[in-house]
Structure formats: structure tokens, C-alpha cells
Amino acid sequence: MSIVNTFSTFVNNITTDGKFQPESGRYHLYISGFCPYAQRANIALKLKGLEDAISVSVLDFIMKDGLLWFGTDIDKPHKGVTVDHLYGFKTLKELYEKADKQQQYTGKHSVPVLWDRKLETIVSNESHDIVRIFNSQLNNLAKYPNVNLYPEEIGLKIDKDTDWFMKNVVGQVFKQSSQEEYELSAKTFFETIEELDRRLSTSRYMFGKELTEFDIKVFVVLIRFELCLFPSLKLNLHPLTYYNNLYNYTKELYQHPQIKSTVYFDHIKGFFNIGRPGLADPKILPLGPNLDHYESPYQRTNL
């Protein structure tokens, strides 16, 4: 499963007058702790305070036979992994097959998945859309309805910067088919990281004093920097600590209680080292890195 999600096929919305309506207890979110796309959806769920309205199942980071598995088929489920709370399925593939009654789906069985219990189908498997649904379509169920991750007045700017970030950061991490391609992609990656660091020298968050969905998209990449991008994918020109503004920004977001609860360090580390064959030597799990420094004070409150 790559960090660049090209697998989304189920794309629906939740509306008061449509097929999928905002009802408490009707929807269920499937995620995995290692996947940045799934984490985006989970962060939005937590920031809006939708935990009582939407239940969650967490898949394991160990892939077997190319599939994502729930905790039922693992001798010793890893911490944080759950069973499929709805159907007791062993794999995510079974859920997709239940939704795809006409057997027309040919894509990957990816997360996140927003599931409708009532109609027993997938509302969406696109993190971008799920974040928007949580942000604006379920405010009648949210503990924090005033949290707005996509203010309309800066919506076009968020969209533009998202496209730029996805192309120049997320889209570069797996471009390693040759030394030349790797060097070009790494250069683009770090130039963009430097631009983000400069931006944060005068701004608390990416668009001022309030968090937006763009901050979520940046954070889920940065929190994986030391664990997988730096060692496993050879994006090691500089560590995150080299970029003072980005580093403190990442610490601040990590220490946000709702966001911190979505970070599964062991799952991220496990996936990139033993969870998916071919990414690294499957027999060796690194001792480090030590991530305690994310708990240290950050210097952002003056902005």
C-alpha cells in the first residue's frame, strides 16, 4: 500500500436529503494505524468529536497474501488492532466484497473505509472526501461543531496547496526506480519541506491561527518522517529536527490530545519494516528511533 492513494472508487456524500443521511450510530470507520490516509480520517473524526456517533475498527499492519487483516486471524494481535466490530470478517477484502454485490470493483482493498450499517455498503473510501464529510455534514452529531477544517473563504487556497503538497512531497516518496529519479525526487521533496518550514516562521499553522485539513495532510507525513521516510525510503538529506519550525509544529500537533490518540507509532514502524514484504528486510525490526522528543516543549505559542 503506497502513500499515494490511487485506489478510491466508492465516492458518496452524506446529506440530509440524500441516500446517506446524518444519523448517529449509522456509520462505521475502518482504518489502519500505519496508513496516513486512514489517519487523516481518524484525526478529523476526533477533532470534530464524532467518536460517540461513529464506531471504528482498526486493521493490523501485517499484510498476508497481499491483504489487510483484522485481529481475529492473528495469534497475538498487536496493540491497538481490533476485530471487525460489525461482521467479524477476517480481511478487509470481505467487506469490499459485501459492498460490491455486482462484482464490478477491481481496485485495491484500501483504507480508510466509511461504511453505512443501514444500507450495508461503502459510503466512501477516499480520505479527502471522508474528512470533508466529517467536517461539515455531521455537525448535528459532533461534540465540536464549530471546529472548521475547511473554511470556505480559504477553500481554494487549501485545494491549491494540497495539490502542490501531494505532487511535491507525497508524490515523490516512492520514485526510486533509478539513482537519477531518486535524486530528482529527493531534491523536490526537500525543497518543498524547506518552503513549508519558511512558511511556519510567521504562522502558527499553515493558514494562520486555526487548524485546517491541510495541516492534517502535512502532519500525517511529518510524523512518519523519522520512522519510515528517513530510514526506509532514503529521504535522509536532513532529519526533521533540522527544520526548526516544522519540527516544533509537528510536536505541537502530536501533543494535541485528539491528534495524539490517532498516532500508532508501533504500527507505522512495523508496517515499513515487517508488515509489507519488499520495503525492508522482513527479519529485522530497528531498535530506534527514540521518539520521546515529541513530548518535549514546543515553541509555537508566540505566533
pLDDT score at 287:
46
Residue % of the chain over a pLDDT of 70: 89
For residue 79, what is its C-alpha cell? 496493540
Residue 262: band (very low, low, confident or very high) from pLDDT cuts 50, 70, 90: very high
Catalytic residue among 1, 14, 35, 54: 35
Residue 66: band (very low, low, confident or very high) from pLDDT cuts 50, 70, 90: confident
The Cα 79–Cα 130 span in angstroms is 25
pLDDT score at 281:
45
pLDDT score of 280 more than 70: no
First-to-last C-alpha distance (Å) of the chain: 37
pLDDT score of 1 more than 50: no
What is the average per-residue pLDDT within 224-229? 88
What is the average per-residue pLDDT within 137-149? 98
Domain ranges of the chain: 27-137, 152-257+290-295
pLDDT score at 179:
85
The fold adopted by the segment(s) 27-137 is Glutaredoxin (3.40.30)
pLDDT score at 279:
56
Phi, psi of 159 (to 5 degrees): -60, -45
Are 107 and 9 in contact by the 8 Å Cβ rule? The answer is yes
Identify whether 228 is a catalytic site residue. no
Pick among 3.10.180.10, 3.40.640.10, 3.40.50.280, 1.20.1050.10: CATH of 152-257+290-295? 1.20.1050.10
**For residues 121 and 302, which has the higher predicted lDDT (pLDDT)?**
121
Residue 122: band (very low, low, confident or very high) from pLDDT cuts 50, 70, 90: very high
